[in-house]
Amino acid sequence: MTQIVSSEFPMTRMRRNRQADWVRRVTRETVLTKGDLVWALIVHDGETPRIPVEAMPGVDRLNLDEAVKAAERAKALGIPALALFPHIDPSKKDAEGSEALNPDGFVPQVIRAIKRAVPDIGIMCDVALDPFTTHGHDGVLNAKDQIDNDETIKRLVEQSLVQAKAGVDVVAPSDMMDGRIAAIRKALESHGCTNTMIMSYSAKYASAFYGPYREAVGSGELLKGDKKTYQMDYGNTDEALRETALDIQEGADMVMVKPGLPYLDIVYRVSSTFNVPTLVFQISGEYAQIKLAAQAGWLDEDKAILETLSAFKRAGADGIVTYFAEQAAELLS
């Protein structure tokens, strides 16, 4: 009798399900879609339509008209939301970040203009003072040049209310002050902004990868010292869970892990521990790495974009804030 099974050959051949494109697609566990993307935009308050960000090839600071056009482009591509980050005239900056609280300031103008033109596009807006301060920190300083947590919260509450009243869908505190989510939620409720969502940057690490962004918003050269007294230490993971749990308890509707690719373990732990929408930010340094490597001919840019974005999904992210959103949406189309 012929022996049907030989011990010399494997019964289970994992490569069978990889042998053709169609079967790889059918058996794929993680699928990236355009609905996963949030387009990070740098907006500026000048008249020049587009100002290239040197450290981020392909990214421009957009004036108000161009920001509206980007929103229309996002709508056409099927990108559900934008995340706005401002660059303002340095003459408007002060030590307290007062321009962030101006109801007629540039950020509220952009929110209103986009909502008029594309009412059903989602708008998330950064809540932090670093683009507005002369010292580049996310909060206000005390007499010892230390970040004053509670005084900062008062200003973040005002900043959130200004954005909410302008029509923003999601306020996104990225400052990492203790207790700010509860204060913002309470203020939003008391001012009738009950539908305004909060996306908390719950696990935001003190990272070397923020440099290009700081150039983009004009805070890098101004920054005094570092942000290690309020952003998280990159050696910690359990702390990320404690931070996230507190923010959820205080009223966050969504949570964020930032940066992205170097912190996939944090994305996984947060998303698998808490039953809340979890987003991740593919930040400026990650963007610049891919762009510059592609320009040098060291990797395929399109493939690297989709691979890294898929990695975020695989780790458990529900949404991805990225400067690559437009390009990724085109590729996914």
- Give the span between the Cα atoms of 167 and 177, in whole angstroms: 24
Give the N- to C-terminal CA distance of the chain in Å, as an integer: 55
Residue given tokens 């959130």 in the structure block:
160
- Give the span between the Cα atoms of 132 and 218, in whole angstroms: 9
Catalytic residue among 204, 227, 291, 313: 204
Which pair of tokens denotes residue 292?
């510059």
φ, ψ at 124 (rounded to 5°): -105, 145
Which pair of tokens denotes residue 48?
């020049």
Closest CA to 126 of 87, 90, 69, 91: 87
Are 114 and 121 contacting, i.e. CB atoms less than 8 angstroms apart?
A: yes
Which pair of tokens denotes residue 141?
């300083």
Note if 204 is an active site residue: yes
- Give the span between the Cα atoms of 42 and 24, in whole angstroms: 37
Dihedral of CA 18/20/21/26: which sign?
Answer: negative
Catalytic residue among 115, 258, 291, 313: 258
Are 292 and 57 contacting, i.e. CB atoms less than 8 angstroms apart?
A: yes
Note if 92 is an active site residue: no
Which residues is 199 bridged to in the sheet? 254
The residues assigned a catalytic role are 204, 258
